[in-house]
């Protein structure tokens, strides 16, 4: 290993209402892979965005090769040899590999100013050969696989003399084979003295490829360990840390008969023969990493995406779900992951939003019964404690928590028995969270069943009666409420 490439010292960063980073320090040596791990919201992406020059910092300093560096923009960072490969790759898909590689400084013919294609392609071939990358410079980038695009981005970074390469969840969309191929390339980079910062949720991979690991939690650095001296359990313990409190108003609700049974649900290329059941009074959690297929299961059950095989049984009746309207008429309701994208008509009033999934069944025949609509909206505003000046207020003027409660009210108004909830408390404040948990428990007491996806582990562990772990489109484990632990869940995602 070589000398000190990078040092980030006592970095702090505050956003309105959130201390995103507090006194975090990391360092990177040439030829080393440093893993950065932590739960969602631990501060990983803020740290990376500061390093990339996207965000300024409130306190702290960055040293590159021992020299103090100030980044005012992403181009400052990139001129210091820092490159970040984000999860969503930014390639120019309609251009060729060679054009992507040399974008901004394509060779031109003297005199005419026209592009010199032969030189472009020959240079590209040389660059790729030096890095032992098997790509044709003339291929259109849109035709490449995710992994090939990734490799191309790495080649571009190295060609532009990057010495510090940051990879954010690089394997999220890769299969096992491509992952190994990526690791081969990373090892090659190490030999060239490049320093790599590797961010991943997949601890198994972190153990395989990193030399050291820094753990962040709630915006603070918990510690840095040598990978070969650490254990999985130790790392997870460092990541999770906090004790779970009474924040979760879980009640003991008797579990009743089967509401929903899913047998051998298959979505080609995504989900393979998944089976599970949901009972009255029960909250079942679907746990898995990004791309595991758990969201596809929920969307397929609601008829938003089609499925290729399997049986869905609702209260003993086999059903086929043709679309959201079909699902709703079977008593299946859905809470989308993104309220602004799929949940709300932001420019319309609270009352319209609350009744929008139930207009056809609200009474009044062909015409809208506005009096009935008003009564229903006012009832839900009260019952779910939505803070709004009145029910005619446009939804976009309300806070995130209140907007999420409107999505919940809309779901409750449908009178469904099976509730599919995709991240029910995503991005809302603590008070609103507790209100939503209370409503979920009320539903269970009323005999409904909830199938929930949550990427917040504590929420999953505290609210779900059973947790089904899905990894790479298969069920890999199932835990009861008593036996489930964060360690077990995380380990099951790597199976």
Partner 1 sequence: MADALQLQKRKRLSTTLILFLALVAMVSVFAVLSKDFYSFLNLSAMLTNISFSGIVAGTLTFILITGGLDISIGGNIALTSCLVAYLFNLEKPVPAWALVPIALGLGAAIGAFNGLFITRLDLNPIITTLGTMAVVRGLGYVLTKSRSILIMEGVTGFIGRTVIPGIQIPIPLILLILTFVILYFLLGHSKFGRKVYIIGANQAAARVSGIRVNRVKFILYLMSGVAASVSGLILTGQTAVGMPQHANGVELDVITAVLLGGTALSGGKGSILGTLAGVLILGVLYNGFTMIGFKYVHIRVFQGIILILIVALYELREKKRY
Considering the complex, what minimum distance in angstroms separates the CB of residue 75 from partner 1? Answer: 31
Report how many residues bind partner 1 under the rule CB under 8 A.
Answer: 40
Binding partner 1 (rule: CB under 8 A), the pick from 392, 430, 446, 495 is 392
List the one residue out of 267, 279, 403 whose CA is nearest residue 342: 403
Q: According to the binding rule CB under 8 A, does residue 390 interact with partner 1? A: yes
Instruction: Please name the helix (run of DSSP H) or strand (run of DSSP E) that holds residue 209, with its range, or none.
Output: helix 203-209
Q: Counting contacts by CB under 8 A, is residue 188 touching partner 1?
A: no
| Residues 269-308 within binding reach of partner 1 (CB under 8 A) | 302, 304
Which of 142, 223, 269, 323 binds partner 1 (CB under 8 A)? It is: 323
Max distance between CA atoms of the chain, in angstroms, equals 83
Q: Which of 105, 243, 367, 482 binds partner 1 (CB under 8 A)?
A: 367
Q: Which stretch binds partner 1 (CB under 8 A): 35-43, 103-111, 346-354, 470-478?
A: 346-354
Structure tokens, 433 = 């969270």
Stretch that binds partner 1, among 34-42, 74-82, 157-165, 354-362 (CB under 8 A): 354-362
Q: Applying CB under 8 A, does 327 fall inside the site for partner 1?
A: yes
Asked if 348 interacts with partner 1 (CB under 8 A), we say yes
Task: Residue 455: name the closest of 490, 429, 487 by CA.
Answer: 490
Q: Does 415 bind partner 1 (CB under 8 A)?
A: no
| Residue 336 CB, nearest approach to partner 1 (Å) | 5
Q: Rounded distance, CA 207 to CA 187, Å?
A: 14
- Closest contact distance (angstroms) between CB of 370 and partner 1 is 5
Nearer to partner 1, 239 or 408 (CB): 408
Check the CA dihedral 452-457-459-465 and report its sign. Answer: positive
Q: Which two tokens stand for residue 202?
A: 């997949």
Report the residue from 101, 391, 421, 484 that binds partner 1 according to the rule CB under 8 A: 391
Q: Taking CB under 8 A as the rule, does residue 346 contact partner 1?
A: yes
Q: State which H helix or E strand residue 64 sits in.
A: strand 59-64
- Of the candidate spans 163-171, 278-286, 362-370, 436-444, the one that interacts with partner 1 by CB under 8 A turns out to be 362-370
Q: Is residue 417 within the footprint of partner 1 (CB under 8 A)?
A: no
Contacts 24+ apart (CB under 8 A), 428-435: 428/400, 428/401, 428/404, 429/399, 429/400, 429/401, 430/247, 431/401, 432/399, 432/400, 432/401, 432/402, 432/404, 432/405, 433/247, 433/401, 434/247, 434/249, 435/384, 435/385, 435/401, 435/405
Task: Decide: is 434 part of the binding site for partner 1 (CB under 8 A).
Answer: no
Min dist CB 291 to partner 1, Å, is 21
For position 349 contacting partner 1 by CB under 8 A, the verdict is: yes
HSE-up (13 A, CA, CB side) for residue 171: 24
Q: Write out the H or E segment, with its range, that includes residue 487.
A: helix 486-492
Q: Report CA Rg, the chain.
A: 26
Residue 221 in tokens: 């650095």
Give me the residues that bind partner 1 (CB under 8 A), please: 302, 304, 323-325, 327-328, 334, 336, 341-349, 351-352, 356-357, 359-360, 362, 364, 366-368, 370, 373-374, 377-378, 389-392, 410, 414
């Amino acid at each position: 290993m070589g000398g000190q490439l990078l040092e980030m010292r006592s970095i702090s960063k505050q956003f309105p209402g959130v201390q995103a980073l507090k006194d975090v320090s990391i360092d990177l040596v040439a030829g080393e892979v440093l893993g950065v791990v932590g739960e969602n919201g631990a501060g990983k992406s803020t740290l990376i965005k500061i390093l990339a020059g996207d965000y300024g910092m409130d306190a702290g300093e960055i040293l590159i090769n021992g020299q103090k560096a100030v980044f005012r923009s992403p181009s400052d960072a990139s001129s210091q040899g820092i490159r970040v490969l984000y999860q969503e790759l930014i390639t120019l898909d309609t251009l060729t590999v060679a054009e992507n590689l040399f974008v901004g400084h394509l060779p031109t013919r003297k005199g005419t100013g026209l592009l010199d294609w032969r030189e472009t392609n020959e240079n590209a071939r040389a660059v790729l050969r030096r890095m032992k990358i098997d790509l044709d410079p003339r291929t259109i980038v849109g035709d490449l696989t995710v992994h090939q695009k990734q490799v191309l981005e790495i080649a571009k970074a190295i060609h532009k003399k990057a010495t510090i390469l940051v990879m954010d969840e690089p394997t999220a969309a890769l299969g096992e084979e491509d992952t190994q191929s990526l690791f081969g390339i990373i090892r090659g980079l190490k030999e060239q003295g490049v320093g790599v910062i590797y961010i991943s949720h997949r601890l198994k991979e972190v153990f395989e490829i990193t030399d050291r690991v820094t753990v962040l939690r709630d915006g603070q650095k918990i510690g840095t360990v040598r990978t070969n001296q650490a254990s999985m359990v130790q790392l997870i313990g460092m990541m999770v840390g906090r004790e779970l409190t009474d924040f979760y108003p879980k009640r003991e609700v008797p579990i009743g008969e089967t509401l929903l049974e899913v047998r051998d649900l298959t979505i080609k290329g995504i989900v393979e023969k998944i089976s599970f059941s949901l009972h009255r009074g029960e909250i079942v959690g679907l746990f898995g990493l990004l791309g595991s297929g758990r969201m596809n299961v929920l969307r397929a059950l609601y008829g938003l995406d089609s499925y290729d095989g399997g049986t869905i049984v609702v209260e003993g009746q086999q059903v086929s779900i043709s679309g959201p309207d079909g699902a709703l008429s079977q008593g299946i309701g859905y809470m989308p992951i993104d309220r602004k994208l799929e949940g709300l008509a932001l420019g319309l009033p609270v009352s319209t939003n609350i009744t929008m999934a139930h207009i056809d069944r609200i009474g009044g025949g062909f015409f809208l019964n506005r009096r009935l609509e008003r009564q229903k909206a006012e009832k839900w505003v009260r019952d779910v404690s939505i803070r709004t000046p009145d029910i005619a207020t446009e939804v976009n003027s309300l806070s995130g928590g209140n907007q999420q409660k409107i999505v919940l009210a809309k779901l409750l108004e449908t009178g469904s028995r099976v509730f599919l909830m995709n991240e029910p408390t995503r991005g809302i404040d603590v008070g609103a969270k507790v209100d939503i948990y209370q409503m979920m428990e009320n539903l269970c007491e009323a005999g409904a069943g909830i199938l929930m996806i949550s990427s917040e582990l504590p929420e999953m562990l505290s609210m779900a009666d059973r947790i089904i772990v899905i990894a790479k489109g298969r069920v890999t484990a199932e835990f009861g409420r008593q036996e489930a632990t964060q360690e077990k869940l995380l380990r099951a995602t790597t199976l």
